[in-house]
Amino acid sequence: MKEIKAIIQPFMLQKVCDALRAIDGLPGVTVSQVMGWGKGRGAGASETVEEGGCTFVRKTKLEVVVPAAIADEVVTAIAAAARTGNMGDGKIFVHDLSEVVKIRTGDRGEGAI
């Protein structure tokens, strides 16, 4: 199993969701509105937020847990859909996941995704 986290530009969310919906076996996605900065420190960003004396850029974070067999397809879909070719497009992080527990049923492992 793999946990995939992607930080993307908020205006790319619909395009990324459309790409993810096309993947068979994708169990779901969690989306959060976040803020932060990367190498560019928000320079040139169209939408920034001041908080605690720092300037942040608004971003959207997607999190998915998938069987390892479709992880590459998910990463490729997110990257292709979120790419504008400009600084600030975001990042994708992929982690091995040792366990998942479905709280309602107690199911564990890939069957709990």
Tell me the pLDDT tens digit for each residue of 47-97. 788 888 888 999 999 999 999 999 999 999 999 999 999 888 999 999 999
All domains in the chain, ordered by first residue: 2-112 (3.30.70.120)
* DSSP string of the chain, one letter each residue: -EEEEEEE-GGGHHHHHHHHHTSTT----EEEEEEE--TTTTTT-SSEEEETTEEEEEEEEEEEEE-HHHHHHHHHHHHHHH--SSTT-EEEEEEE----B-TTT--BGGGG-
Residue 42, pLDDT above cutoff 70: no
Residue 103, pLDDT above cutoff 90: yes
pTM of this structure: 0.90
- Give residue 41's pLDDT: 63
**pLDDT band with cut points at 50, 70 and 90 for residue 44:** low
